[in-house]
Structure 1
Amino acid sequence: MTKTASRDAPLDAKKAASRSGGPSFSLANRLGRVVWMTSWLLLARWTPPPLHGWRALILQLFGARLGGNCRVHASVKIWHPRNLELGDNVLIGPGAIIYNQGRVTIGSDCVVSQRAHLCASTHDVSDRDFQLVVRPVMLAPKCWVAAEAFVGPGVTMGEGAVLAARGVLFEDAEAWAIYRGNPAAKLKPRELRAGEA
């Protein structure tokens, strides 16, 4: 395990006494995130919508991997940029939450709409110490997570999948399918008009 990977791995909940207020991550991880959150607040949080390039640069300086033409709004909350990868032409809308204690990968041409929430961690409910478990979230290209929807830990959305507004997805979504509800269920195939693939 690399130094960076070990710094970003959850601590053993029993040894760290996480249930009693102890940390879930190493001191280096926590200090890095304080620097990150302070930097985002001072350098990006106040910026007007057109300054997407500036915000992308800040994310990259903190370890995020971004493709071309990514648009991340100033009010987005990203837990740890080093655990974030965006393809080309990705839009992360206002107020979206990327709770990426685990890795979050968002493919090209995806949209994560306003106040949507991607969560890449959970807890082991069978463990007396409630161990934190990271589970990556992956959106294949051309997905849409609509307003205020939630994508849970370990979920993969296939290419072109859609999660409707306020939907809650805890299982993988098929490619080119539309899901809605809580828990989200497949509604119908997503069919693009001719010439729009």
Structure 2
Amino acid sequence: MYFFRMNLLRKLVYYLMHEDYHFARKGANCSIGRECIINSSSMIELGNNVSIGPRAVLYAIYKKIIFGDNVLLGPNVTIVNGDHSIRKIGIPLINNHEKLPEDDADVIIGDESWIGANVTILKGVNIGRGCVVAAGAVLVKNVPPYTIVGGVPAKVLRNRFTLEQALQHESMLYPIEKRLSKEELSHLK
């Protein structure tokens, strides 16, 4: 009986504390896992079929976090699109609330991307279409389409497809006007 009550109490607390997020855009069939921390949801755009795993942390203060369609985030993913201003003389970092334009930049996660567990994505990163980010990676720079990245800092481990396979994949899933060109996929071999 004790365990039943504790489980019921835990569920009740979750539902009472669960914030009703007001995203800038929210596509169809999106899900947000439990215990997520989402700061400034009005600066976040979700495409269709976006799944955000439990305990994700999304901080978007002055710039946007944009998710494409069919994006999957594993548990404990952190996306922060801004920095603290660290060059103010005479002000302790904890008291410095001033933000400069260069302190923040959009984060864009392309269609069909899969972000593994415990990944950290920092400001200004653009993850291309169809990417896989290995668990525990830290992304500090852009990721080309259809690549698999991992590590700290993240680097390209290999390509998901050859150029021919990527072009075939694009033709099967996207209308002509939305397909990536051969030039945009030229990094694939």
TM-score, with normalisation over the residues of structure 2?
0.68
Kindly state the Cα deviation for residue 109 of structure 1 after the two structures are TM-superposed. 0.3
How far apart, in 2, do the equivalents of 1:97 and 1:118 lie?
A: 6
Residue 69 of structure 2 is aligned to residue 108 of structure 1: yes
Task: Quote the residue 2:129 is aligned against.
Answer: 159
Percent identity of paired positions between Structure 1 and Structure 2: 26
Q: Which residue of 2 aligns with 1:148?
A: 118
Residues 1:172 and 1:127: Cα distance change in structure 2 (over 3 Å): farther
Choose the corresponding residue for 2:39, options 59, 79, 85. 79
User: More displaced, 74-83 or 148-157?
Assistant: 74-83
Which residues of structure 1 form unaligned runs of 5+? 1-39, 46-54
Secondary structure of the residue that 1:178 maps to in structure 2? strand
Q: Distance in 1 between matches of 2:53 and 2:24?
A: 17
CA–CA separation in structure 1 for the residues paired with 2:16 and 2:160: 39
Q: CA deviation at 1:63?
A: 4.3
Please give the secondary structure, in 1, of the residue aligned with 2:143: coil
2:141 corresponds to? 171
RMSD, aligned α-carbons: 2.5
Larger Rg: 1 or 2?
2
Structure 2: gaps spanning 5 or more residues: 1-12, 174-189
Q: CA deviation at 1:124?
A: 3.7
Q: Which amino acid aligns with 2:123?
A: P
Does the CA contact (< 8 Å) of 1:44 and 1:74 recur in 2?
A: no
Q: For residue 82 of structure 1, give the secondary structure of its aligned residue in structure 2.
A: helix
Number of residue pairs the alignment of both structures matches:
145
Tell me, yes or no, if the aligned pair for 1:69 and 1:90 is still in contact at 8 Å: yes
After superposition, residues 14-163 of structure 1 pair within 5 angstroms as: 43=16, 45=18, 58-59=20-21, 62-101=22-61, 102-128=63-89, 131-132=98-99, 133-163=103-133
How far has the Cα of 1:68 moved from its partner?
A: 0.2
